Amino acid sequence: MCDPQPSTSSSAGDSASAGQEPSVPTHVSRGHASFGDRLAATALNRSRLCVGIDPHPGLLDQWGLPATVDGLESFTMRCVEAFGTTVALVKPQVAFFESYGSRGFAVLEKAIAALHEAGTLVLADAKRGDIGSTMAAYADAWLGETSPLRCDAVTVSPYTGFGALEPVLDLAERQGQGVYVLAATSNPEAETLQSARIKRSRGPQRRDERRRNDSHNADHGDSVAQHIVDECATRNQLYRRKTGSRFGNIGVVVGATLGLPTQGSDAVRKAPDLSALNGPVLLPGVGAQGASADDVRRLTTHVEPLAFPNISRAILKHGPDIGSLQKAVEANAQDYPGMVLE
């Protein structure tokens, strides 16, 4: 973690927390369609799913492939051929490529280029999070115009403070790319941190505030997860106001299993209110982790056009045959017939 870069202005997250509106970079122009608008448009002609490329050693073995760079490349390029022309968003899990070192990154670069050539959007599931110049370097690595790893969007972690994400948020907004911020993840270990209550930050009015008196939350504060969603909503609101975009670039990751009883317990984690987001939502936890299409709809009533179920294992288990993988995509996509752009 490097020292923060010198700055003469407050970050978006810090400004919002202080009760001031954050500012979208003045060089944002109408020349770039927002990532949210591009994502919604791409989904009109493709399956509205996010399918992961997760070359886990167990899956390589299931496909009859060795846990080597050659096996990694064979697995990955079969996924590219199966998904590149069928789904709107493909999400390589970066860690599985990193584990093979430079040759693994070379396979990932090849896959990103091939997916772009096929016309699909690519989300790097890198979950980067740091401060200052280091965060700026991560932004350049995954979104920079000259980077061989350049994707349409990247996942990031906000737990060094939302304001520390400024370099990647700024770059995404300048170029019409996406950032998915971890907000309420589906793993049970996340509950203690993400459900913790903090002082409410100022942001766009949410549906839950319009629906009832706000005195309860004023006393008890928002969850950390809700705070993250609200910070993203504020960025999107300002970006849309400046550019005229229908949707913003900044999205969130929210587990589709939220609202369901925790395994071995009757406890239920409350999902954050997404009604003011106006940006993309990635929903892991569908299929193998127990969430259904109905659970996705329940969580995303007000953000359906940009709500993408993330389905990986339930599709990848049908490999290595490319036709079987494509049939699995089609079968899963049929579970979301009502989720269309109006």
- How many whole angstroms separate alpha carbon 306 and alpha carbon 303? 6
Higher pLDDT, 23 or 291: 291
Give the pLDDT of residue 303.
Answer: 72
pLDDT band at 208 (very low <50, low <70, confident <90, very high): low
- How many whole angstroms separate alpha carbon 315 and alpha carbon 51? 8
- Domain 35-333: assigned CATH number: 3.20.20.70
Give the pLDDT of residue 247.
Answer: 96
> In terms of Cα–Cα distance, which of 159, 158, 150, 200 is closest to 180?
158
Higher pLDDT, 228 or 186: 228
> In terms of Cα–Cα distance, which of 121, 128, 112 is closest to 153?
121
pLDDT tens column, 19-74: 444 545 444 444 579 999 999 999 999 999 999 999 999 999 999 999 999 999 99
Give the pLDDT of residue 15.
Answer: 40
Higher pLDDT, 338 or 114: 114
Token pair in block for residue 221 = 């504060």
Backbone angles phi, psi at 56, to 5 degrees: -65, 145
- Among the listed residues 127, 242, 317, 327, the single catalytic one is 127
Average confidence (pLDDT) over 268-291? 84
Flag the least confident range among 57-71, 127-141, 254-268.
254-268
What percent of the chain clears pLDDT 70, i.e. is strictly above it?
79
127 given a catalytic annotation:
yes
- How many whole angstroms separate alpha carbon 315 and alpha carbon 319? 8
Task: Give long-range contacts, CB 8 A cutoff, 24+ apart: 19-25.
Answer: 19/202, 21/234, 21/238, 22/234, 22/235, 22/238, 23/238, 24/173, 24/235, 24/238, 24/239, 24/242, 25/170, 25/173, 25/174
Give the pLDDT of residue 90.
Answer: 99
pLDDT tens column, 136-184: 999 999 999 999 999 999 999 999 999 999 999 999 999 999 999 999 9
Residue type, 255: G
- 50 within 8 A of 90, measured Cβ to Cβ: yes
- 37 within 8 A of 186, measured Cβ to Cβ: no
Cα 250 → chain centroid: 9
- 49 within 8 A of 87, measured Cβ to Cβ: yes
pLDDT tens column, 308-340: 999 999 999 999 999 999 999 999 998 865 454
Give the pLDDT of residue 202.
Answer: 62
- How many whole angstroms separate alpha carbon 79 and alpha carbon 190? 30
Average model confidence (pLDDT) for the chain?
85
A 10 A CB-CB count for 91 gives 26
